[in-house]
Structure 1
Amino acid sequence: MGFDWKEMFTVTMVLFAVIDIIGSVPIIVDLRSKLGHIQSEKASIVAMVIMVAFLFVGEEILKLIGIDANSFAVAGSFVLFFLALEMILGIRLHKEDNPSTASIVPIAFPIIAGAGTMTTLLSLRAEYEKINIIVAIVINVILVYAVLKSSAKIEKLLGDNGLGVIRKVFGVVLLAIAVKLFAANVKQLFL
């Protein structure tokens, strides 16, 4: 078939919902305040490379190491679950000794190109043309880059109270996504 505007728009919206970069603003602002700087370009490019590579060879890589897509999704749901708990409860579960940058971990992976995104890419690949998925990935990465670049402005606009509210609300949303991802895939592990 080839390029199709409708398919591309649908895939773009699905990926936008799964990546949820707007919901990740509190995490990004928190990381920026701890580290001082986030390399927006680097995080965006690495996330795009991860997503495009996973689109083409993800399932084969998982099979090669003996992991099915359902196990990968369940593992990803745990990562999302703990990130959500951090957001909701205001606690810190993940600690690094001296992180110098958060551009690759956790921003590019798993926040942008996480298990939910990768699992979604595998299911989209079965329904849509790859060219439409690639264009949708590029559009989403441009949106991600814009949000990463303007996170300081967003922080000033919302203030501490606004960010706190958004952090809690999107923490609950992220928790719901984690539970849905877990429930949808854990059944398949026992079949």
Structure 2
Amino acid sequence: MNMSERIEEFVTLWVVIDPLGTLPVFLAVTATLDAASRRKAAVLSTLVSFGVLVFFAMAGHWLLRAMDVSIHSFQIAGAIVLFLFALTMIHGKSHTDAQAPAETSPMEIAIYPLAIPSIASPGAMLAAVVLTDNARHNFPDRMLTIIVFSIVLLITLAIMLAAGPLGRLIGRGGASIISRVMGMILAALAVDLGLSAAADWLHLPPI
């Protein structure tokens, strides 16, 4: 097990899933629910997000092969998408601005907007595919990557379950600052991903 790779995966998934950025969304969309329903929505949204990300981690490469898309092209395109996603975080237009839906069913709220697009965001789906690329023929390494984003999702669940106290502690201003810092980190990771893919494609020394 390469610990540095696992740490890099954790940082990437932490940024794209943005557990703290999910907090304001959770507070907004569950404002009309009682405590038990809020806990149910938190657990269901985490399970749905896990299923979506596992699908992309396990089947994403098969979809690429079916469409005859090279992994280098996907990595470079993914780096561009992640960079643009990072810019929305830096400029304060991340998923923290999601609007609360009119319905109050914990199941409906758990699926949208909590699981999709807040937790299992397009950036997270893309990261699940890209991070498992090098391990597409190595099942144990792929499982380790899935364990890493499971840990991030469990932290996200813990934050949602503790939404009330945390929301009062950091406030909207604190959540906004954290989201922008995470956006800068994601932008740097996106640039590194694009340069590394281009270097590998051109047979240049590693970045």
Q: TM-score range by the shorter chain?
A: 0.5 to 0.7
**Contact 2:10 / 2:149 at 8 angstroms: preserved in 1?**
no
The CA distance in 2 between the partners of 1:68 and 1:145, in whole Å, is 25
The CA distance in 2 between the partners of 1:17 and 1:162, in whole Å, is 21
Q: TM-score, normalised by structure 1?
A: 0.68
Structure-2 change in CA distance of 1:49 and 1:112 (3 Å): same
1:85 aligns with 2:91: yes
Match in the other structure for 2:184: 175
1:155 aligns with 2:186: no
1:142 aligns with 2:153: no
**Contact 1:12 / 1:140 at 8 angstroms: preserved in 2?**
yes
Deviation, 1:70, is 0.6
Structure-2 change in CA distance of 1:183 and 1:133 (3 Å): closer
Structure-2 change in CA distance of 1:11 and 1:57 (3 Å): farther
Equivalent of residue 25 in structure 1, options 19, 22, 25: 19
The CA distance in 2 between the partners of 1:96 and 1:62, in whole Å, is 36
Deviation, 1:143, is 1.3
Deviation, 1:87, is 6.7
Residue 57 of structure 1 aligns with an amino acid whose one-letter code is W
Equivalent of residue 58 in structure 2, options 52, 75, 82: 52
The structure number with the bigger radius of gyration is 2
Count of matched residue positions in the alignment of Structure 1 and Structure 2: 177
1:75 aligns with 2:76: no
The CA distance in 1 between the partners of 2:180 and 2:142, in whole Å, is 28
**Contact 1:47 / 1:109 at 8 angstroms: preserved in 2?**
no
Aligned-residue CA RMSD (Å): 3.9
Match in the other structure for 1:110: 122
Residue ranges of structure 1 left out of the alignment (5+ in a row): 1-5
1:42 aligns with 2:54: no
**Contact 2:20 / 2:156 at 8 angstroms: preserved in 1?**
no
Q: Percent of aligned positions with the same letter in both sequences?
A: 9
Q: TM-score, normalised by structure 2?
A: 0.63
Structure-2 change in CA distance of 1:138 and 1:70 (3 Å): closer
Residue 139 of structure 2 aligns with an amino acid whose one-letter code is I
